[in-house]
Structure 1
Amino acid sequence: MSMTSLTTKSRKPEDVVIEGWLHKRGEHVKNWRPRYFIIFKDGALLGFRSKPKDSVPYPPLNDFMIKEAATMTFEKPRPNMFMVRCLQWTTVIERTFYADSPESRAKWIKAIEDISKRYKDSQDAPVEHMDTNPPTIDEDGEYAGAAHAIMGQPSAGPNHSDIDFRASMISIADTSDAAKRDKITMEDFDFLKVLGKGTFGKVILCKEKREQKLYAIKILKKEVIIAREEVAHTMTENRVLQRCKHPFLTELKYSFQEQWHLCFVMEFANGGELFTHLRKCGTFPESRARFYGAEIVMAIGYLHLNNVVYRDMKELRYSFQTDDRLCFVMEFAIGGDLYYHLNKEVQMNKEGFSEPRARFYGAEIVLALGYLHANNIVYRDLKLENLLLDKDGHIKIADFGLCKEEIKFGDKTSTFCGTPEYLAPEVLEDNDYGRCVDWWGVGVVMYEMMCGRLPFYSKDHNKLFELIMVGDLRFPSKLSQEAKLLLQGLLVKDPAKRTGGGSEDAMEICRQDFFKSVDWEAMYRKEIEPPYKPNVNSETDTSYFDNEFTSQPVQLTPPHKSGHLPTVDEQEEMQSNFTQFSFHNIVGSINRIYEASEEDERMAE
């Protein structure tokens, strides 16, 4: 059980060993913060922004376990400093404090060591010693070294709560006759244009030779993934894409691997990023922001229901690997990203999307995230660049690389990840956090859509983080009261008080006055006409994608630029990281065949 579930109110006064004010140094924003700490007999070290009262049993900002702790003291860069090595959940961490006097520091260290010794004695284990040589300290003081029907359910069949959905998907991919008969490789695709490029590989527009359908294929270099210790994130992305099917998430068609690559074959959303559209508009009208917001809420709500934190989302068609690359075959979102569209709006009209347009996008985003949450997935990297538009103008959330699986309501994770401008306060506070970080992200992107700028911004990341943690929101006068209330609720610093932070998750957001005009069932079925339709000339139109990438030649960078070729043992070791990677979206293919036959029957009638 997490210590955060045990408030000070559930303990008796005699359980307190020591309490009082200390200064704690931040792990990401390197400043000193006053915190009221309490050590309990059971080994809990809890930190609060102010002294807790019996009538306010709120969760602590810091939640450490010191039963097996070690301490160390030093006097620079501040006097009366000490460091504690202890547990946060199951992770060994080190946290630095300073007290007001040497006597105060001595009392805290004695309390910590007494509890640690008592616990070790009870376990009949030797006391762990810590190197007492002071660490090297640099000049900056841093140490070197909508209901379930809307949101969706896991589609594992009867008694799905007793079935390991991930295992069942792998079983389908590995044992079906279709999968054995139709092994996917790069030879099955014609490469057309480069859509994007990053550290781990490229995204290329391609056409599948057999079906003559367009996809976006994400090709990753295995050696880079291993070198940067991103194997776990990559395999998580593959599993999440296989599990999740939702109208506002891009679909995975295949995933496969070749000798040096992993490949994801995804939908192609050629409408571009929402970031691009918003950049052009400045701000969206409220109706447009409402539309997008509704779709986003649906998508993230789905993820949360499935115990997944988003952190960064597209639907997967195939995944496969070559010898040196991982390949994901995805939908092609031809409309581009919202960053492009918003930037265009800002340039033309000096403001963002209208509220109706922002409402539309917001609604689709909420549905998508609600779906992920329903599947216990937290996204964790919502931003305009990850919000694509398909050819009709509907939202497609892209890039699952930072998703976290198996996160239900009340569950926590602690990885510091995401994009700086979109990080939630609880992430910056060095606290464990839950799926509510996604709703903070929704607040940021909807603020951008309607206000034409970020709610908190500075080129200096330390100043930016301070603004996110303690800064006040400001709104343009044109914004409606309903829009202000929605944004204020989504951008609450305390995740426990944030709109969507309770057990109802996306449903609480759907009921906000800003979305009262949204028919959520019709939104989910895509029966509401989008406020904007990308102007694309053909299915291969990439005008909504950055010319910096689309003008590049379509070719894969060969591995081992140094000229060193891996040994057989090295190749086998590399391949062992990506077992059970390949995937063929058989269910999706069957559904499309069935839908096509139904359409033929209707036309025949």
Structure 2
Amino acid sequence: MSFRFPRWGRKKNKSKGPPAANKYYPNGAGVPRAPPSAPGRTYSTGSDYQAQQPWQSNGTMPPAPATAGADFQHSGQRPAPPSNRGPPLPFSHPLYAMDAEGMIHLKATGKGLDDSDLAVHQDEIINTVVKYVQDSMRKELGFREVFIPANSTPEAPVKANVFVSRNYETCKKLLVFVAVSRGLYPGLWSRGLVLHAGVKSGSMLEYFRKAIDEGFGIIVANPNKNVIVMRDGKQRLQIPGSSSPEEHMDSLWDSYVARSAARRVYFLGYSYGGVLIKYLLQSRGDQLMRRNGAIALIESSHRIEDGDSQSVKSILAHRTMYWESNDQPFQTKLDGDAPHRTGCTCLSAGRPPRAHANHYYVTAFCINKIQDALFRFLDTRDATTYVAGEKPVPEPPASAPALMGNGAAPNGQQMQRQESSRREANNSKMGSSEKHCNLCLFHFTLFDRRHHCRMCHRAVCNACSRDRLFLPGSSTAQRVCTECATEGPRANQAPTQPPPNYPRFNRTASDAVATTNQPVTDPAQTRNRSDTQMSNQGRSESNAQPPGNSKLSVEDFDLLKVIGKGAFGKVMLVRKKVPDGSANPNAIYAMKVLKKASVFAKNQVEHTKSERRILRDIDHPFVVRLRYAFQNEDKLYLVMDYYNGGSLFFHLRKSRKFSEKRARFYAAQLLMSMSHLHELNIAYRDLKLENILMDDKGFIALTDFGLSKENVDVPDGAKTFCGTAEYIAPELLKGLPYGKAVDWWGFGTLLYEMMTGQTPFFDRNRKRMFHNILHRDVVFTQAFSEDAKDLLTGLLRRDPAKRLGSGPSGVQEIMDHPFFATIDFDKLLKREVEPPFKPVVNSEADTGNVANIFTREMARDSPVTQELGATHRAQAHFDGFTYMPGNEHLN
């Protein structure tokens, strides 16, 4: 249906006379500046939803109403400028209605949309919302469409449409909106938000209104439009200048942003949009630096890299602000992973009031909560100045209603019901398909290829796998599907076999060590550690019986929960069955499952066999004990004691740092366990908090001997470069042969970390961190006593021959140090000392101190995918692996 702006513009203008000329109405009489187009040029007023209409023949834009929409209230501190937009459009559709919160429901029933409604009406709902949003952009806000390539006409079949405000070429400050996901249209944050959180949260309309009232010109990028499917459905043509999201951003800058008269160019990015904004900083850095205003990012997925230019890092550090939902109060400056990952100043959007919030609810909360704060930052431009002027806002009581951006309470129950229904629909319809996305049913094509979630291995599209998590053992964030990122793998999900072409990581031998028998912590808290940590590559199962004469198999255990994952398999909480087949409630263990083909391919055969020997032979109260070891055709199984108190890394992250008394207690136990290893000529080589487990009484035990070196009876008996970056001793960095003294360097590093919350030489840049290890002096804070300083100074000597613990008396040098004067080592060895901390444990099989991202996954021994044809070759390398008490001569 066609329309003319002048007609509705004059009808809604209730002012008594024309306004005077000003920066918003430079021509006076309510008529804004004319666009640069030639008279009579035709523009598109809707990509696929509206007939195209010419503008006025004199080339001017239609007048805007003098009053703002009734539903908007300016909440900034400055007086609102004259409104440059019309009243909001009513939502009109024969089947659907929109409530005050923007939630779509069926007119016939008046109820919200459930899974069956979404399955049938999803595309129609999206098309209806897109038409409503883009009509609002044109009629209410005065946007128009331009195209890439810039010389395209509305009739051109191959083009990408971009929306611009009427004043984008003449404004003093220009704001570019960037959001990216599959099937997304300009004006929306995401399709999922529209369907599950409503139009108000899923569209950019509220932000457009705010930006116009703040005097911004606006450009809405469309980086999702890269190809055109011809009518026959067989031919797909790439759009010149927009064949990829990156090329689209370059063309957008060259064709429209660069030509604007704006002195300052601002960017607002959501999710993957932050990646494209960072790309533009790199590709158009010099031009952008001269006009850079500020960058606001909402839950951006970009990362700062070592290879980024200094100008990019500077802009991200000083002119960029990042918001995410967090347990911290609103506007609290965040530390830890977020600023390290993004290179930006990061603020909390607060915690959603609802205890169990799904992904869409949390995102909607964040987008609505930060709107006013975001525009205050754009006005300030400098991150440091802005943070100094903002005060954290305490969260309202849990009983208070959840307020969205303008104070309206979201329909939380409806959103929760829709999310639950969507998952149920997925469960019943999909199983696990390689032909379409297992979340949104999008069919994969040559151009829209499948991805695989690194947690559940389901095939998903790009839009459903934009989340990244730091999984244990990965130094970079890994792709996970939206469902695993927000709620963990579904407990009732059938196991999925990784496809034959499932992508594998190329990792060094030091990266591919065996898993620990418990996860270290929640992946969102995991630091950027490397070398001995493990990447999640897959779950595997085999129903084959163990070869040889072994009478023990995985069938002899009840698989309870997943408690960790690693490069070669996973770790599960298990219960051993009694001979009659019933469960034994007291026989709770941690079972590490390793895929033989992966171990063989990563040259970890000897490390794995060494770990099995060490675990079998060592009997010490502060070392994890091996109970069983067996194998089948494809996999190895190590069954060990389960420590239900969690890891020291888990508890340190909760406590931030330990008191000197508590750190001394743990250090004394480690000292005795390390001494026992050294007496057996074993160098541990991987001492870190993640490898130290706690039992229900508060005592600790050392685990994960995948990097341990046997027969190290001379000071220079090892040469392999391995370990975790933060704990590596200087002699390894220098490439020198080394001995057991490397463990005392790691011991000192770990003791320092327990007392401060951070290792002594840590830096996000690994090269700088290694430089610090080799050259920088240790910095002691007030948290250290004089005895602690003296002990750490001795342990962190760069010359291994002078390092404390390397003298003739060995470990006794450390035990005799005044720092341990209050420790009775004999009583401690007998566990007759009262621990300073006791974890909360409710039962032998309690997993409350394990990251729930693992425990939510169903425990199954899933089928293995043959890798490199190596399984049959690997078999011979594990002779003598199987171990059961009283029978050590099995396979």
**TM-score using structure 2 length:** 0.37
Report the equivalent of 1:338.
648
Deviations 1:70-124, CA, capped at 9 Å, x for gaps = xxxxxxxxxxxxxxxxxxxxxxxxxxxxxxxxxxxxxxxxxxxxxxxxxxxxxxx
Alignment partner of 1:218 out of 592, 597, 600 = 592
Residue matched to 2:874: 574
Instruction: State the partner residue of 2:569.
Output: 201
SS of the residue 1:486 aligns to: helix
Which structure 1 segments of 5+ residues have no match? 1-179, 270-333, 347-351, 589-605
- Once residues 646 and 731 of structure 2 are traced to their aligned partners in structure 1, the CA distance between those partners, rounded to angstroms, is 31
| Whole-angstrom CA distance in 2 between matches of 1:478 and 1:582 | 48
Kindly indicate whether the alpha-carbon contact (under 8 Å) linking 1:252 and 1:585 is maintained by their aligned counterparts in 2: no
Rate the CA distance shift 1:491–1:206 in 2: closer, same or farther, 3 A. Answer: same
What secondary structure does 1:335 align onto?
Answer: coil
Counterpart of 2:885 in structure 1 is 585
SS in 2 for 1:253: strand
Q: Is the 8 A contact 1:379 1:400 kept in 2?
A: yes
Counterpart CA distance in 2 for 1:181 and 1:577 is: 17
* Contact 1:242/1:585 (<8 A) preserved: no
CA distance in 2, matches of 1:185, 1:427: 40
Partner of 1:421: 726
Amino acid at match of 1:360: F
Distance 1:434 1:182, change over 3 A: same
C-alpha distance in 1 between matches for 2:699 and 2:594 = 27
**AA matched with 1:225:** V
Equivalent residue runs for 1:554-569 within 5 Å: 554-560=859-865
Is the contact made by 2:716 and 2:737 (CA closer than 8 Å) also made in structure 1?
Answer: no
Amino acid paired to 2:632: E
Shift of 1:421: 0.6
Matches within 5 A, 1:269-288: 269=643
1:492 aligns with 2:801: no
Distance 1:555 1:468 in 2: 43
Indicate if the aligned counterparts of 2:648 and 2:694 stay in contact, CA closer than 8 A: yes
In 1, are the aligned partners of 2:597 and 2:866 still within 8 Å (CA)?
no
- Structure with the higher fraction of residues in strand conformation: 1
The one of 249, 254, 265 equivalent to 2:623 is 249
| 488 and 571 in structure 1: CA distance in 2 versus 1, 3 angstrom threshold | closer
1: CA distance, partners of 2:660 / 2:871:
54
Within 2, Cα distance between the matches of 1:533 and 1:478?
23
Give the CA deviation at 1:585.
3.1
2:712 pairs, out of 407, 421, 427, with 407
Partner of 1:478: 783
Cα distance in 2 for residues equivalent to 1:492 and 1:181: 51
Aligned residue runs from structure 1 range 307-346, under 5 A: 334-346=644-656
How many Å separate the matches in 2 of 1:429 and 1:539?
Answer: 45
Q: Within 2, Cα distance between the matches of 1:430 and 1:518?
A: 37
Partner SS, residue 732 of structure 2: helix
CA drift at 1:420: 0.4
The one-letter amino acid paired with 2:591 is: I
Which amino acid in structure 2 is aligned with residue 268 of structure 1?
A: Y
How far is the alpha carbon of 1:587 from its aligned partner?
Answer: 9.7
Aligned partner of residue 535 in structure 1, secondary structure? coil
* 1:88-167 superposed matches below 5 A: none
- The percentage of aligned residue pairs carrying the same residue is 44
Given candidates 851, 857, 879, the residue that maps to 1:552 is 857
In the alignment, the residues of structure 2 paired with residue 384 and residue 571 of structure 1 have an alpha-carbon distance, to the nearest angstrom, of 33
- The 2-side partners of 1:410 and 1:435 are apart by 7
Find the residue that maps to 2:632 and give its secondary structure: strand
SS state at 1:362 partner: helix
1:571 offset after TM fit, Å? 5.1
| Contact 2:645 2:694 (C-alpha < 8 Å) held by counterparts | yes
CA spacing shift, 1:362–1:439, aligned 2, 3 Å: same
1:540 and 2:845 are equivalent in the alignment: yes
Greater percentage in helix: 1
Structure 1 residue 181, shift from structure 2 partner: 9.0
Matches within 5 A, 1:46-61: none
2:609 equivalent to 1:235: yes
Counterpart in 2 of 1:379? 684
Q: Do the aligned residues in 2 keep the contact of 1:409 with 1:503 (CA within 8 Å)? A: no
Alpha-carbon contact 1:216-1:265 (below 8 Å) kept:
yes
Segment of structure 1 superposing worse, 416-425 or 405-414: 405-414
Hey, what does 1:389 align to over in structure 2? 694
Q: 1:587 to 1:496 in 2, by over 3 A?
A: farther
> How much has 1:412 moved relative to structure 2?
1.7
Higher relative contact order (CA 8 A, sep 6+): 1
The runs of 5 or more residues in structure 2 that have no matched partner are: 1-547, 579-583
Task: Indicate the SS of the match to 2:773.
Answer: helix
Q: Where in structure 2 are the equivalents of 1:413-452 lying within 5 Å? A: 413-452=718-757
Deviation string for 1:104-148 (max 9, x for gaps)?
xxxxxxxxxxxxxxxxxxxxxxxxxxxxxxxxxxxxxxxxxxxxx
Distance of 2:717 and 2:765 partners within structure 1: 29
**Structure possessing the higher radius of gyration over alpha carbons:** 2
Q: Give the C-alpha shift of residue 540 in structure 1.
A: 1.2
The 1:587–1:507 alpha-carbon spacing in structure 2 relative to 1, beyond 3 Å, is: farther
Corresponding residue of 2:815: 510
Of residues 187, 201, 226 in structure 1, which corresponds to 2:555?
A: 187
In structure 1, what residue type is equivalent to 2:763? Answer: S
* TM-score computed with the length of structure 1 as normaliser: 0.54
Which residue matches 1:267?
A: 641
Shift of 1:194: 0.5
The one-letter amino acid of 2:741's match is C
Conserved 8 A contact 1:215-1:267: yes
Partner Cα separation in structure 1 for residue 780 and residue 607 of structure 2? 37
Deviations 1:295-352 (A, max 9, x none): xxxxxxxxxxxxxxxxxxxxxxxxxxxxxxxxxxxxxxx1100011111111xxxxx1
- Write the letter of the residue equivalent to 1:518: I
Distance 2:816 2:699 in 1: 21
> Residue 455 of structure 1 contacts residue 474 of structure 1 at CA under 8 Å; is this kept in 2?
yes
Equivalence for 2:126: none
CA-to-aligned-CA distance 1:525-562 (integer Å, 9 cap, x gap)? 11111111111111111111111111111123422268
1:391: how far off?
Answer: 1.1
* CA–CA distance in structure 2, aligned partners of residues 509 and 405 of structure 1: 23
Deviation at 1:572, TM superposition (A): 4.3
- For residues 886 and 803 of structure 2, the distance between their equivalents in structure 1, rounded to whole angstroms, comes to 39
User: Contact 2:629–2:639 (CA<8 Å) still a contact in 1?
Assistant: yes
Cα 1:511–1:426 change in 2 (3 A) is same
Distance 1:557 1:457 in 2: 39
CA RMSD between the two structures: 1.8
What is the deviation of 1:504? 2.2
The aligned amino acid for 1:233 is H
Cα displacement (A) at 1:201: 0.7
Distance 1:224 1:437 in 2: 28
Structure 1: how far apart are the matches of 2:691 and 2:638? 16
- Pick from 741, 756, 774 the counterpart of residue 469 of structure 1: 774
The structure-2 alpha-carbon separation of the partners of 1:235 and 1:181, relative to structure 1 and needing over 3 Å to count, comes to: closer
- Report the 3-state secondary structure (helix = DSSP H, G, I; strand = E; otherwise coil) of the residue aligned with 1:353: coil
The amino acid across from 1:242 in the alignment is R
8 Å CA contact 1:451, 1:475 repeated in 2? no
CA apart distance, 1:241: 1.0
Alpha-carbon distance in 2 for matches of 1:556, 1:253: 19
Deviations 1:431-490 (A, max 9, x none): 000001111111011101112211011111111100001111011113210111111111
